[in-house]
C-alpha cells in the first residue's frame, strides 16, 4: 500500500474516522487471497461507476453500484458485522455520538 492511512482507526480496529464520521473497516479475518480478490472487484466496480457516469448510462451505473455494494459486503464493510461480541454497528455514525467520543477527543489534531 502506498503511504500510511491518514485516518485514525478505533482502538478495536472496527472503524476509521473521516471528518468525524465512523466508517467500518474490512474484516481482518479474511484470507489474504480473498481480500485481494474482493479489493480488485471493488476497484473495478468503482471504475465502472465512473465510466457509466461519464456516458450518462443510468442502467450501467446501477449495475456498477450493485457490484460495489457486493464487494463491500464481501469485505465486511457493509451488511452484517464481522465481530461476534454483540456490539452494535456504528457505521456512518458521528464519532462524537458514540462510545468512541472520548477516544477521538483525545487524539491530536490532524
Greater pLDDT, 7 or 5: 7
Mean pLDDT of 35-58: 97
Output the pTM of the full model. 0.87
81 pLDDT more than 70: yes
Joined together, the cell numbers standing for residue 37 give: 480478490
For 17, 21, 48, 73, 102, the CA distances from 11, given in Å and listed in that order, are: 12, 15, 34, 22, 12
Q: Is 71 exposed, middle or buried (0-12, 13-18, 19+ CB in 10 A)?
A: buried
pLDDT score, position 94: 98
Amino acid at each position: 500500500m502506498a503511504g500510511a492511512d491518514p485516518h485514525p482507526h478505533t482502538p478495536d480496529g472496527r472503524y476509521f474516522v473521516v471528518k468525524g464520521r465512523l466508517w467500518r473497516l474490512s474484516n481482518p479475518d479474511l484470507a489474504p487471497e480473498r481480500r485481494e480478490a474482493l479489493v480488485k472487484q471493488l476497484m473495478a466496480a468503482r471504475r465502472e461507476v465512473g465510466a457509466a457516469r461519464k456516458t450518462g448510462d443510468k442502467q450501467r451505473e446501477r449495475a456498477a453500484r450493485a457490484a460495489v455494494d457486493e464487494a463491500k459486503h464481501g469485505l465486511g464493510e457493509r451488511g452484517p458485522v464481522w465481530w461476534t461480541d454483540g456490539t452494535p454497528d456504528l457505521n456512518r455514525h458521528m464519532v462524537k455520538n458514540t462510545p468512541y467520543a472520548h477516544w477521538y477527543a483525545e487524539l491530536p489534531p490532524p
